[in-house]
Amino acid sequence: MAFPAGFFEDHHVILAPMAGVSDLIFRRLCEEQGADLTFTEMVSAKGLSYANEKTRHLMDVLPGTAEVGVQIFGHEPKTMAEQAKWIEDALGESLAYLDINMGCPARKIVKKGDGSALMNAPELAADIVNAVKRAVSHPVTCKFRRGWSEESGESASAFAYRMQEAGADAVAVHGRFAMQYYKGASDAGAIARVKEAVSIPVIGNGDVTSGAQARALKERTGCDAIMVGRAAQGNPWVFADIKAALADDVAPSPPTLEERVQMARRHIARLLAVRPHAAAYLRKHAMWYLHGCPHAAFARGQLATCKTQEEFFAVLDGVLDRDLTEGAAHGA
């Protein structure tokens, strides 16, 4: 099944799938700030095939969630197709569409032939898309990068066309080469060239950290939607900024320190309520919420050892108390 008409007009600002980041509570917080669609963490097809409960929990959704995207990774067409079908059956109406990861550059992913390694094996990548597409009734997309490396050259346009021919209903393109990881700048031109090469929707990704950058990317590339990844870490407000910029509205004010602390408290309390052993995971999120804030350095060392909600809250409240004390001293 292809995307219904107007799908990306209603879902034009998307939270990217991020391993160890896009948990079910974080997704809800991003939705509240304006994300039209959110993705779960990327899911291992092989892990699902072993009935791995930890892997399955990555796809948990909160009651009231309209739709969620799920990204799977792997390199075996049969396993990918079987587990895509399982996901579709398990999530039912909560599933928006399935994405195939062909862009993750992490060494532990690539060395198994998964993620961006598939850009070096376009025939296998096409076989995976075709197999998944035949197994499910939801739309199927794939996310990849500008190419493997600067030395091997840009291949995104040809790769995108190959995936379209294999049955992909849309593609998401990150404007860096896989071997750049997250260094250097994302090339919007690569996304524009993919848009010219295919007739299916194109989702632009890479270096979108503000509403102004999202608008510039859409104008430069003609992409059908914007996908935001690392810029949302500790900053769900980025979606409100992007939505305002794309709608020509006045940009919202940046969050205050108190708003950052309150968002961190909500994330921590709500996730620990459904995942009581998530404290270690939450430490990085708490640090991200305070990034660039006064006294963040003071809090970082303490957050690294937090094990309970009470300990997290004590550190966060301490940041606010320090700020208030400092402000009073300056005002005296």
Sign of CA dihedral 186, 251, 11, 33: positive
At residue 93's C-alpha, the angle toward residues 87 and 98, to 5°, is 45
Say if CB 175 and CB 207 are below 8 A apart. Answer: yes
- Identify the active-site residue in 30, 104, 223, 293: 104
Q: Which long-range contacts (CB under 8 A, 24 or more apart) does 133-136 make?
A: 133/166, 133/167, 133/168, 133/169, 134/81, 134/167, 135/81, 135/82, 135/84, 135/85, 136/81, 136/84, 136/85, 136/88, 136/98
Which residue's structure tokens are 């587990």? 83
Contacts of 250 (CB under 8 A, 6+ apart): 244
104 in active site? yes
Query: 236: Cβ–Cβ under 8 A, 6 or more apart, which residues?
Result: 26, 29, 30, 32, 33, 35, 263
Q: What share of the chain is helix, strand, coil (3-state, %, to 5)?
A: 50, 15, 35
Active site positions, annotated: 104
